[in-house]
Amino acid sequence: MEPGGLLERVRAGAGLTQDELARRAGTSRPTLSAYENGRKSPTVATFARLLSEAGYELAAQPQVMLTRRPAARGRSVWVPDHLPRLATTTRTFSPASTATFRRAALSPSLTGLVHGCQSAPEAAVGQAHAR
């Protein structure tokens, strides 16, 4: 994705107009428009400031490279040179929902029933009555 397209996507995602983002970042609306439409290229510092004012940050992450490795029976598999960093999220569960998750994890019939409901609700009802 081009920097201008990313700026436009970030600005729209933040619910900001070009005027509002330009004012917050200390630039003009025509300049921001030129960045978004690819007529001008912002410096890295300007790009980072625009992202920051929209509630985002500029980050450089290592690219995961895949290498083909031999596997059993003459086959090969693709192996990453490192695992990507996963985003962490924090979520609070009530004691009741935690107990429900534990029961669901221990009950294969409940798990099958839930999966059946997602694909074919009528079949899941038939499975529940058959048990």
The residue to which tokens 């004691």 are assigned: 95
Chain segment 9-47, per-residue pLDDT in tens: 999 999 999 999 999 999 999 999 999 999 999 999 999
**In whole numbers, what is the pLDDT of the chain averaged over residues?**
76
pLDDT(99) > 60? no
pLDDT(63) > 50? yes
Number of domains in the chain: 2
Extended beta strands in the chain, E state: 66-70, 76-80
Enumerate residues 6+ apart whose C-beta is below 8 A from 113.
124, 127, 128
Tokens of 43: 């410096």
Is residue 26 one of the residues assigned to a domain?
Answer: yes
What phi, psi does 103 have (nearest 5°)? -60, -40
Is residue 105 one of the residues assigned to a domain?
Answer: yes
Is residue 39 one of the residues assigned to a domain?
Answer: yes
Is residue 118 one of the residues assigned to a domain?
Answer: yes
Give residue 32's domain range. 3-53
Is residue 110 one of the residues assigned to a domain?
Answer: yes
Distance CA 7, CA 35 (A): 8
Is residue 86 one of the residues assigned to a domain?
Answer: no
Is residue 80 one of the residues assigned to a domain?
Answer: no
pLDDT(122) > 80? no
Domain CATH code at residue 31 = 1.10.260.40
Terminal Cα-to-Cα distance of the chain (whole angstroms): 52
Chain segment 72-89, per-residue pLDDT in tens: 999 999 998 888 776 665
